[in-house]
Amino acid sequence: MMQNDVVVVGAGISGLSLAYYCVQAGLKTTLLEKGDATGGSFSSPRYGVGGREFWLELGAHTCYSSYQNLLGIVESCGLMASITPRAKVPFSLYRDGQVKSLVSSLNFPELLVSGPKIFSLKKDGQTVKSYYSQIVGQKNYRDVISHFFNAVPSQVTDDFPADMMFKSREKRKDVLKNYTFAEGLQSVARAISAKSGLNVFTGREVVSLREENGQYVVVTADGMEYGAKVLGLALPSAVSSKLLGTVSREIAGHLGLLKAATVDSVGVVIKKENLAMKPVAALISPNDIFFSAVSRDTVPDDSYRGFAFHFRPGLDEKKKMTRICEVLGIGPSRIEKTFTRINTVPSLRLGHHEWHEKIDTLLKGKKNLLLSGNYFGGMAIEDCVSRSKAEFERLGK
């Protein structure tokens, strides 16, 4: 059995950041990932031709100056110089075969009447629908804004807690308001994975856990075993719930209460000269089989353009490719490369703060079990890193 101080399972940004904090503290840490690369929803697959590589985001795409914990890691990994601005191209609505600007689709008289409520209305205890339909007006919410919100976690967000979408956080003044990295977000995943003292194993699905002789034993699908005093799980809540059944029924049961949605993401790369559509940041598509198509036009490339279509789950490949070609106005032979990924995003509901408090209370009885993921304080990258930091700090207390 391979012995470690810490084993972290799941190498999305939650697991990577948790492993980063452990390694920085001098703990011998192993990170186990089921997929063939680290990054999870925070990864940028590449298409290489003639010695050049074109990257595309299949999940997260934008970081902000308010992502202070993420920036702390970026700084310590020496990546500040590769922070790259995003070109100012519009987020547009795609409806009935037409691309329309979000702003021009708004009803301004309704916005003027409702808008001032932003100064008095509190988000606490309100759903996204109840809060924002008062701020922007019912019609604007129904026809425009709700689709923009739905595109963020690729699911209907009417019942999400309003205070968990677009949180306001303190910003760093010395960093661009919004940005990516010269080689995409994967740059951060790569830099953390390369930290000395961190062993990263990809292609290792964790299938069971047990407690034995005062340590955790983690078993992967290939039969390998990893022992450690401290266990970090940074997985979708349902996966953590299943694995923890043998360690704490109460924690497993509480995790099992959460719901999540899967997002079927398909990325396509097209030669620039084969695509007539004007540059966009993303197409947001009301009542379609995809929630959004996020483009690489925010970091323009000389030769290629790329789009990640985020589909509702369960559609067959042919249907998805047909829709991609229709929206982009191209034939299938124009697609140079296709990438696919299934992302998992939580379906948050009112009462989530109470759920969060209870899991933290239950974890007080399991000091060496650290739980991170995108279902605690929120699903943004910074929420994931902040949760990992807080869990790491709990270890030291």
What is the binding site for ligand FAD (CB under 6 A)?
9-15, 32-35, 40-42, 59-62, 154, 205-206, 234-235, 239, 263, 265, 310, 343-345, 373-374, 379-381, 384
Looking at beta carbons only, is 145 or 234 nearer to ligand FAD?
234
Pick 146 or 374: Cβ nearer ligand FAD: 374
| Least gap, CB of 331 to ligand FAD (angstroms) | 26
**In terms of Cα–Cα distance, which of 211, 217, 218 is closest to 246?**
211
**Is 7 or 162 the residue whose CB approaches ligand FAD more closely?**
7
Measured from the CB atom, is 296 or 310 closer to ligand FAD?
310
Q: Helix, strand, or coil here: 245?
A: coil
Closer to ligand FAD at the Cβ: 215 or 240?
240
Nearer to ligand FAD (CB atom), residue 15 or residue 184: 15
Which regions of the chain does DSSP assign to beta strands (E)?
A: 2-9, 29-32, 46-49, 52-55, 63-64, 83-85, 91-95, 98-101, 178-181, 198-201, 206-212, 215-220, 225-234, 259-271, 282-284, 290-295, 304-311, 335-347, 369-372
CB of 155 to ligand FAD, least distance (A): 10
The rounded distance, in Å, linking the Cα atoms of 4 and 24 is 15
Q: How many Cα atoms occupy the beta-carbon half-sphere of 362 within 13 Å?
A: 18
Minimum gap (Å) between residue 108 Cβ and ligand FAD: 28
Q: How far is the CB of 120 from ligand FAD (least distance, A)?
A: 29
User: Is 221 within 8 Å of 205 (Cβ atoms)?
Assistant: yes
- Minimum distance, C-beta of residue 61 to ligand FAD, in the bound complex (Å): 4
The smaller minimum CB distance to ligand FAD, of residues 104 and 246, is found at: 246
Q: How far is the CB of 304 from ligand FAD (least distance, A)?
A: 20
Closest CB to ligand FAD among residues 235, 269:
235
Coil, strand, or helix at residue 150? Answer: helix
Q: Cα(221)–Cα(204) distance, rounded to whole angstroms?
A: 7
Instruction: With CA atoms as reference, report the closest residue to 361 among 259, 258, 251, 209.
Output: 251
Nearest approach, Cβ of 63 to ligand FAD (angstroms)?
6
CA distance 363 to 250: 10
For residues 191 and 82, is the Cβ–Cβ distance under 8 A? no
State which amino acid sits at residue 18: L
Three-state DSSP string of 70-106? HHHHHHHCCCHHHEEECCCCCEEEEECCEEEECHHHC
- The span from the CA of 292 to the CA of 311, in Å, is 8
Nearest to 385 by CA among 67, 57, 40, 55: 67
In the bound complex, what is the minimum distance in angstroms from residue 329's beta carbon to ligand FAD?
A: 23
